[in-house]
Amino acid sequence: MAKLILMPEIAANATSAVIKQWSKQEGESIRAGECLAEIETDKALIEFDADEAGVLGKILADAGKDIEVGTPIAVLFAEGETNVDIAAVLAAAGVEKPATHAAAEPAPVVAAAVATTATASGRLFASPLARRLARDRGIDLHGVKGSGPHGRIVKCDIDAIGVAVAVTARAPVAAAAVAPAAGAAYVEVAHSGMRKTIARRLSESKATIPHFYLSAACRMDKLMALRAEINASSPRKISINDFIIKAAAAALKASPQMNVSWTDSALRQYAAADISVAVSTDGGLITPVVRAADSKSLSAISAEVADLATRARASQLTPDEYQGGSFTISNLGMFGVQEFSAIINPPQAAILAVGTTSQQAVVTEGVLAVASVMTVTLSVDHRAIDGAVAAQWLALFQRYIEHPLSTLI
């Protein structure tokens, strides 16, 4: 018996994803566990495997389109099944017509200017997120026409109402402000799903999390000497960042009040020091996680980070490899950046921004000298962590960096 294949929730709390490409064509047989399509989430490219054997009878969603989770994307025929009434299968599931044949509708301008998306029976086709946003903003869904598959009301339709009203109110001024200079040339590059998610999450973080910042200058001479000694005999070369990950994890274990995140009902304290490491990719920033970094050797951390970074840039990470960290490290030292402040990676409560190591003049016991110094800046969620707790953690981190053997004993 024919059955619908729905867009899966590849990543936790994902509302949509993009079919990068179909691995099977209509009419091809597929085995249970065989890749049906490659689906791109905001952070990775995932192979979507078939749950059961059959024939890919009908593709309902084109590759390259952003599809909401739970939307039918294909019809799977049973082996030997022919003359399937696709329309009947869709109707039985409450779907009016295939996504590939759905007419593209313009986004609504104002609620009063568009037609209803309700069926004759009065039922509204709207995503749960669109319903919640409409309720929060006092928008009557009966006055909104959806631009999603089969006329379904989606988030962008609700957003467009507010945006259109705001733009209309200030159109004369805005038009003059953003008009490009005569003859100016530009190219518009469409946002990827990953870039959209990064923008949304960082905007929410900066707008909703009360950040405060602490900085420290770490003397690196002992660490640099130890690193040189290790790398002289070790088959795997250890980086400064490996030491930083190890020191941060050790400080989290020694100061568990820092290894937390804020929720509306409770403060969540983590047992393991799971360190997220910011990795730059062509699509944007991703933060694969080194689990229980405090219990791992420098060589194990080095090997794991190298592997995670390589697969992150190839979009080959699984969701469990980039979700669930308790603390993030963002290192721009290799680019010569002296110091910077990073935005917290929610739901975490802190992130450490690491600058370059450079030769600087220092005073030790009244004597002027030259030393290798690295400046770090800790961004902290003040809801979850008090200033004194953050200062104590930063002092621990600084001590571990300046006396690196203490993290290895």
Place of tokens 């290894």: 259
Residues 127 and 84 in one domain: no
Q: Which residue has tokens 């992150």?
A: 312
Let me know if 21 is exposed, middle or buried by CB neighbors in 10 A (0-12, 13-18, 19+).
Answer: exposed
* pLDDT for residue 409: 78
Report the predicted TM-score, pTM, of the whole model to 2 decimal places.
0.65
Q: Could you tell me which residues are beta bridge partners of residue 29?
A: 55
Q: What is the pLDDT of residue 393?
A: 98
What range defines the domain where residue 283 resides?
210-407
In this structure, are 39 and 171 located in the same domain?
Answer: no
Rounded distance between C-alpha atoms, residue 213 and residue 193, angstroms? 30
Is 320 within a domain? yes
CA-CA distance, 291 to 293, in Å (whole number)? 5
Same domain, 346 and 269: yes
Percent residues over pLDDT 70 in the chain? 81
- For residue 199, being part of any structural domain is answered with no
Number of folded domains that form the chain? 3
Do 146 and 92 fall into the same domain?
no
- Compute the mean pLDDT over every residue in the chain, rounded to the nearest whole number: 83
- Domain ends where: 72, 101, 130? 101
CATH number at residue 174: 4.10.320.10
Of the candidates 407, 268, 266, 401, the residue with the CA atom closest to the CA atom of residue 329: 401
H or E segment and range at residue 160: helix 155-169
Query: Taking the C-alpha atoms of 292, 293, 297 and 301 in order, what is their torsion angle to the nearest 10 degrees?
Result: 120
pLDDT at 27 over 80: yes
The answer to whether 382 is a known catalytic residue is: yes
In this prediction, residue 172 carries a pLDDT of 44
Tell whether 186 is covered by a domain.
Answer: no
Distance CA 358, CA 106 (A): 55
Same domain membership, residue 285 and residue 145: no
pLDDT per residue as tens digits for the range 261-310: 999 999 999 999 999 999 998 888 899 999 999 999 999 999 999 999 99
Cα separations (Å) of 91 from 26, 96, 145? 20, 6, 20
Instruction: Tell me: pLDDT of 107 over 90.
Output: no
Res 176: pLDDT: 44
Please say which residue of 63, 81, 101 terminates a domain.
101
**Which of 83-92, 94-103, 108-117, 319-328 has the weakest average pLDDT?**
108-117
> pLDDT category, 12, cuts 50, 70, 90?
low
Higher pLDDT, 60 or 112: 60
Is the per-residue pLDDT at 209 higher than 90? yes
123 plus 72 within the same structural domain: no
Same domain, 377 and 318: yes
- pLDDT score, position 245: 98
Residue that finishes a domain, picked among 52, 81, 101:
101
Q: Is 195 inside any structural domain?
A: no
The confidence score (pLDDT) of residue 87 equals 78
Evaluate whether residue 225 is within a structural domain. yes
pLDDT mean over 163-190: 55
Write down the catalytic residue from 101, 142, 211, 382: 382
Q: Calculate what percentage of the chain has a pLDDT beyond 90.
A: 45
Same domain, 138 and 83: no
Residue bearing the bigger pLDDT, 144 or 14: 144
Cβ atoms of residues 352 and 329 within 8 Å: yes
Least confident of 80-89, 111-120, 206-215, 228-237: 111-120
Residue 118, pLDDT > 50, answer no
For residues 261 and 398, membership in a common domain is answered with yes
Query: Would you place residue 140 in the very low, low, confident or very high pLDDT band (cuts 50, 70, 90)?
Result: confident
Only one residue has tokens 């078939």, namely 50
Domain identity same for 273 and 346: yes
- Answer yes or no: is 239 within a domain: yes
Residue-level pLDDT at 332: 96
C-alpha to C-alpha distance for 128 and 148, rounded to whole angstroms = 13
Other C-beta atoms lying within 10 Å of the C-beta of residue 244:
25
